[in-house]
Amino acid sequence: MTRGGPSMATPAYRVGIVSLSNGFAAKTRWRGRVYYGRREGGGLTYRLSGGIAVRPAPRWSLSVDPNYLRHVDHQQYVTELAGGPVATYSRRYVFATVDQSTWLAQIRFNYTIKPDLTVDLYAEPFAASGRFYDHGELPAPRALGLRTYGTDGSTITRETDGSFTVTEGGDAFTLPALDFNVRSLRSNVVLRWEWRPGSMLYVVWQQDRSSFSPFGDLVKPLALFDGVTASGNNFFAIKLSYWLPAS
């Protein structure tokens, strides 16, 4: 966990998982899963995932697979600096608590306009955030807890750019700003036309949009739609194939 430095103790971790689903042959298929893990002394991970797939008519189908993740880790590695205690080889191994939240979904839609003409859509909206706080350093090899900055005579100040200035005795050093908020949307639309037996025309439209901000606010479900208005790239491609019958 110290990226090549002294070892660090990790607390025990307990996990519980519950999964439910209906039969694979059902016209409307669904599934759900709950994952919950907790560390002794704090820290947790829980994930809610599921999916539903419907085919109400022979010509079209739709599936949606949403996921939510919340992760809190009190031993997230941040950086390594000089000036640490002799016990850690005069290096500071800095950690923090990180509180992460993530929403994502996978959406698939297929429509058969005619037997030789189909449209397929795939979209993957994504929203995530992370907030770093309670910075501290490893006090000794194999220690379980941190020596938190802002205690034992040290001070920590958050600067306007999101970084932190730490003072301890006559030393002062800066910790990087790591908070983040990310939105993205990836999508593909494919039109497939068999314009003659064995000969195909593909028209593809691909989008890749994303945005970033240096804030760690927890994301909410509606944040999944923020990627629609983010800046990004559009790609268009056309592929034509022609089948030559053997003479």
Lowest mean pLDDT among 28-32, 214-218, 242-246: 242-246
Tell me the average pLDDT across 62-77: 97
Written as six digits, the tokens of 227 are 């990627």
Alpha carbon 26 to chain centroid, angstroms = 31
Q: Which amino acid is at 83?
A: G
Residue 42 — very low, low, confident or very high, per pLDDT cuts 50/70/90? confident
Q: What is the pLDDT of residue 92?
A: 94
Instruction: Tell me the three state secondary structure of residue 26.
Output: coil
Q: What is the pLDDT of residues 144-171, one digit of tens each?
A: 889 999 999 999 999 999 999 999 888 9
Residue 24 has pLDDT above 90, yes or no: no
Report domain extents, the chain: 13-240
Q: What is the pLDDT of residue 247?
A: 60
Task: Name the average pLDDT for the chain.
Answer: 94
Rounded to whole angstroms, how far apart are CA atoms 190 and 113? Answer: 13
Report percent pLDDT > 70 for the chain: 99
